[in-house]
Amino acid sequence: MILSFTKYHGTGNDFIMIDSTKNADFSLSNEQISFLCDRRFGIGADGVIIIFRHKEYDFEMRYHNADGSMSFCGNGARCAVKFAQSLALFDSTAKFIAIDGEHLATLDGDLISLKMNDVKNYSLNEDHYVIDTGSPHYIQFTKDLAKEDIVKFGKEVRYSPTYKTVGINVNLVEVSSDNKLKMLTYERGVEDETYSCGTGATAVALAYGDTMNLTKINVDIQVKGGMLKVKALRKGKDFEAIYLIGPAVAVFQGEIQLPA
């Protein structure tokens, strides 16, 4: 089978986009997804996103991690919005459905503002937060990010008895003297460091807001692949009106022979 695709990235978080608007029954096996995401033998990506038509929404996005598992992906969703716009599924404002529910997004050139789901349940433990922003995240603040080994630390947390079965994304965060944030991420499903993570940046911003007792969050977060912005409102312990803002860029188009 010959598969047509478009490659996108959002601050270095890269995705294989597949247009399935004319084939509601299209699917890929976990083995095929792993092949496509392989950076030596396939196209190379952090995940695969398939776009379907939907009766009640502008489109549906289905995100698969590089190992085939499914979750929500913030950067992937922003790229999906940009790709769906190129398919003429909407004009400048989109309402779409993903694995974690409904989302809204607006576009301004390559900059996409994505509304995330409200966050009500999160925990602060001895030295870290656990926050689910569509995918679960472990967040720990550190004084010197340059000295950290995110892959080693990420694997220790992700494969610990607490998270071994379901998995968790792991983020290390440094707050500068002028309250600017930098982060590194280890992603489950990819099982490695990624250049960016949208749900992770969102979780980091909320953890920072809780730490600083902010009622209004508006932070820029430096990830390895660029800059993301997160805005949110905090009411009591709950977070709402959460927006992940950043670029989504088409890189190239192509065709590839899928293994059976």
Say if residue 212 is in the same domain as residue 127: yes
When divided into structural domains, the chain yields a total of 2
* Residue 177 region by backbone torsions, left for phi larger than 0, else alpha for psi between -120 and 50, else beta: alpha
Say if residue 130 is in the same domain as residue 241: yes
pLDDT tens for 122-176 read 999 989 999 999 999 999 999 999 999 999 999 999 999 999 999 999 999 999 8
Say if residue 239 is in the same domain as residue 128: yes
CA–CA separation, 4 vs 153, rounded Å?
37
Say if residue 60 is in the same domain as residue 154: no
Say if residue 137 is in the same domain as residue 227: yes
Ramachandran angles phi, psi of 191, nearest 5°: 60, 45
Q: Which of 186, 137, 200, 190 is nearest to 15 (CA)?
A: 190
The predicted pLDDT at position 260 comes to 77
The predicted pLDDT at position 178 comes to 85
Identify the CATH number of the domain in which residue 195 sits: 3.10.310.10
Instruction: Clarify whether 37 is annotated catalytic.
Output: no
Cα 164 to Cα 16, 49, 188, distances in angstroms: 27, 25, 10
Q: What angle do CA 25, 29, 34 make, to 5 degrees?
A: 135
**What domain range is 13 assigned to?**
2-115+248-257
Instruction: Clarify whether 197 is annotated catalytic.
Output: yes
Structure tokens belonging to residue 164: 């071994």
Using DSSP's 3-state secondary structure scheme, residue 154 falls into: helix
Say if residue 146 is in the same domain as residue 222: yes
The predicted pLDDT at position 99 comes to 96
Say if residue 140 is in the same domain as residue 221: yes
Say if residue 97 is in the same domain as residue 27: yes
Whether the per-residue pLDDT at 183 is higher than 80: the answer is yes
The predicted pLDDT at position 177 comes to 81
Catalytic residue among 105, 197, 230, 242: 197
The predicted pLDDT at position 46 comes to 96
Say if residue 133 is in the same domain as residue 220: yes
pLDDT tens for 62-116 read 999 999 999 999 999 999 999 999 999 999 999 999 999 999 999 998 899 999 9
Name, in order, each residue with C-beta under 8 angstroms of 112's C-beta and a sequence gap of 6 or more.
78, 81, 82, 105, 106, 245, 246, 247, 248
Say if residue 220 is in the same domain as residue 130: yes
Catalytic residue among 33, 43, 73, 228: 73
Say if residue 132 is in the same domain as residue 237: yes
pLDDT tens for 29-71 read 999 999 999 999 999 999 999 999 999 999 999 999 999 999 9
pLDDT tens for 5-26 read 999 999 999 999 999 999 999 9
Say if residue 141 is in the same domain as residue 213: yes
